[in-house]
A and B are shown apart, each in its own frame.
Chain A
Amino acid sequence: MGKIDDVEVINGEGYQLTTLDKAIGLARANSVWPLPFATSCCGIEFMATMGSAYDLSRFGMERMSFSPRQADLLIVAGTISKKLGPVLKKVYEQMSEPKWVLSVGACACSGGIFDTYSVLQGIDRIIPVDVYVPGCPPRPEQIIDGVMNIHELVKNESNRRRYSDEYKHLMQNYNIEIEDGKAE
């Protein structure tokens, strides 16, 4: 585990005290398992990001999770057609909490150059998005910057965000069911 900065910590000789939330946040942020939902040209750019030159594994992300059930971060890179929309939503619904979404490229963010009947005009019409990466396509550095922003969210968000009223409200807006967590 890295050093915990910027929090109320007490450093002693050979130990460090902090809140459990922060420690868990740090652990989570450095082991985000991404599910690449990559299509078209941005998908190619994402492959470069994963490759050895840019090396996403430096951030604890080298294990791409191709099962939504074991993924924390949904990386949507590329054009999403309307026909693919329900598939994307199903993949999102199958991911277990906590989960984040990174939208890579103009197409995923807004439909991009595809001002046309067959393309979804932004994935935020069907699933909530945490971080948007603009560009057509974005360079790997930009994608990594987006991932860093996700890390900030993961570190600083409440571990129980899914029980908050805002979160429930958000999910309701997208017609996505969540368990309310009362049983836990």
Chain B
Amino acid sequence: MEKLNNEAILNLIQGAFPNDVLFHEEPYGLLTIEVTAAKGHEIIEWLKNHETLSVNYLTNIAAVHYPEDAGREFAVVYQLHSWKNLFRLRIKCYLPKENVSIASLVDIFPGANWMERESYDFFGVEFIGHPDMRRILNEDSMDYFPMRKEYALEDDTREDKDDRYFGRNNQ
């Protein structure tokens, strides 16, 4: 078997999903592809079950907020790892702010459970099909998603903090 390099991996994915790989790049040699959000679940499942690729480990799920990027304000980023072939892969799905939801991966990788709850907790990304979609780190009574950029990072009940000492002097 020839060695799996990024190009070969990309070709395999593009071959199986010709219309769903929207963009690809290799920052620092890490193959990164953007796929349509609706197909994210299917592609990851395919990668895991693929005989040669065998992407069997989900390293991380993260969300990103790009408030200026109309129609694709939220990105969900999956980092995957193939222990068999020793390569890593990053998959991005973009979501509009009107409907920040994407299929849950818990049925493929049980370890996705807490990662998805974390993304929900901080960015409000709804993972459809998640067995227990609630906050994980913040207090349950919190009524907003603190990592969204429209919310101030600071605690609004603070009294004795001076912005100048925190690297912010925009008053």
Report A's interface with B, CB cutoff 8 A. 82-83, 110-111, 115-119, 121, 125
CA distance in complex: A134, B47 (Å) = 54
Answer yes or no: B51 CB below 8 A from chain A CBs: no
Contact of B139 among A82, A116, A121 (CB under 8 A): A82
A interface, by DSSP: helix, strand, loop or mixed? loop
Q: Interface residues of B, CB < 8 Å — how many?
A: 15
A111 touching B138 in the complex, CB below 8 Å, given contacts A116-B153, A117-B146: no
Contact of A117 among B154, B159, B160, B161 (CB under 8 A): B154
- Chain A residues whose CB sits within 8 angstroms of the CB of B137 once the complex forms: 83, 118
Contact B138 A115 (CB under 8 A): no
CA distance in complex: A110, B137 (Å) = 21
B interface, by DSSP: helix, strand, loop or mixed? loop
Contact B139 A111 (CB under 8 A): no
- Chain A residues whose CB sits within 8 angstroms of the CB of B151 once the complex forms: 117
Report B's interface with A, CB cutoff 8 A. 137-139, 146, 151-155, 157-161, 166
Give 24 A-B contacts (CB < 8 Å), ordered by A residue: A82-B138, A83-B137, A83-B138, A83-B139, A110-B160, A111-B158, A111-B161, A115-B153, A115-B158, A115-B161, A116-B153, A116-B155, A117-B146, A117-B152, A117-B153, A117-B155, A118-B137, A118-B146, A121-B155, A121-B157, A121-B158, A121-B159, A121-B161, A125-B157
Contact B160 A119 (CB under 8 A): no
> How many whole Å from A90's CB to the nearest CB in chain B?
14
CA distance in complex: A144, B74 (Å) = 50
